[in-house]
């Protein structure tokens, strides 16, 4: 009798395999956030300074609140969901080929992110470079983190303390 653990059949396990993936939704019209914050401050100030009014009179607070809501809707309408999947060997080789031996880490990184981006379709490294300039580095870093997460995958099954607590199971 052997003390060796059973070796699983890798071919049968490949049927269950999938590439790591990650999604992130980003509102592209980031300029509206500053306008919303300014209006929220104006709303808070107006609420403190507002005189008592009679029933049925128009409220200046309602006007500001409606403007805030309109800007939020505009910002929400500009949301784009990026979906990334891990690089394949062929995609990685294509990036190397496209770089033609040039040592440009920023371009290589943008090419890798673009290659992993499966949605929206047609994203190129140039598109991502322009997007980074438009939305800013901090917001773009969130996109980069999602792509990085998709490229790495997980070596273990994620543990959910909330689900364990609800089901009464322990780690």
Residue 38 to residues 35, 101, 138, 159, Cα–Cα distance (Å): 5, 48, 20, 41
| pLDDT (average), residues 139-152 | 90
Predicted local confidence at residue 97, as pLDDT: 94
Tokens (6 digits) for 53: 């009014």
Domain containing 112 equals 20-51+58-152
**pTM metric for this prediction:** 0.72
Q: If you ran DSSP here, which 8-state letter would residue 18 be given?
A: -
| pLDDT (average), residues 6-16 | 77
**Mean of per-residue pLDDT scores for the chain:** 85
Q: Are 115 and 52 in contact (CB under 8 A)?
A: no
Domain count, the chain: 1
Is a pLDDT exceeding 90 seen at residue 120? yes
Residue 64 confidence class, pLDDT cut points 50, 70, 90: confident
Is a pLDDT exceeding 80 seen at residue 152? no
Task: Note the maximum CA span of the chain.
Answer: 91
Is a pLDDT exceeding 80 seen at residue 81? yes
pLDDT higher at 34 or 60:
34
Establish if 106 belongs to a structural domain: yes
Query: d(Cα 127, Cα 72) in Å, to the nearest integer?
Result: 25
Is a pLDDT exceeding 80 seen at residue 170? no
Establish if 165 belongs to a structural domain: no
Q: Are 113 and 125 in contact (CB under 8 A)?
A: yes
Give 110's contacts (C-beta < 8 A, 6+ positions apart).
125, 128, 129, 132
């Amino acid at each position: 009798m052997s003390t060796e653990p059973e070796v699983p059949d890798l071919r049968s396990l490949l049927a269950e395999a999938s590439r790591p993936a990650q999604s992130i939704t980003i509102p592209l019209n980031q300029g509206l956030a500053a306008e919303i914050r300014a209006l929220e401050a104006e709303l808070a100030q107006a609420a403190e300074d507002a005189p008592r009014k009679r029933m049925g009179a128009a409220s200046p607070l309602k006007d500001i609140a409606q403007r805030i809501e309109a800007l939020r809707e505009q910002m929400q309408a500009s949301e784009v969901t990026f979906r990334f999947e891990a690089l394949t060997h062929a995609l990685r080789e294509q990036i190397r080929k496209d770089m033609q031996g040039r040592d440009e880490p920023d371009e290589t990184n943008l090419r890798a992110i673009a290659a992993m981006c499966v949605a929206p379709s047609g994203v190129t490294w140039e598109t991502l470079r322009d997007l980074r300039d438009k939305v800013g580095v901090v917001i773009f870093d969130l996109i980069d983190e999602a792509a990085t997460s998709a490229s790495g995958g997980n070596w273990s099954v994620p543990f959910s303390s909330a689900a364990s607590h609800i089901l009464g199971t322990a780690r």
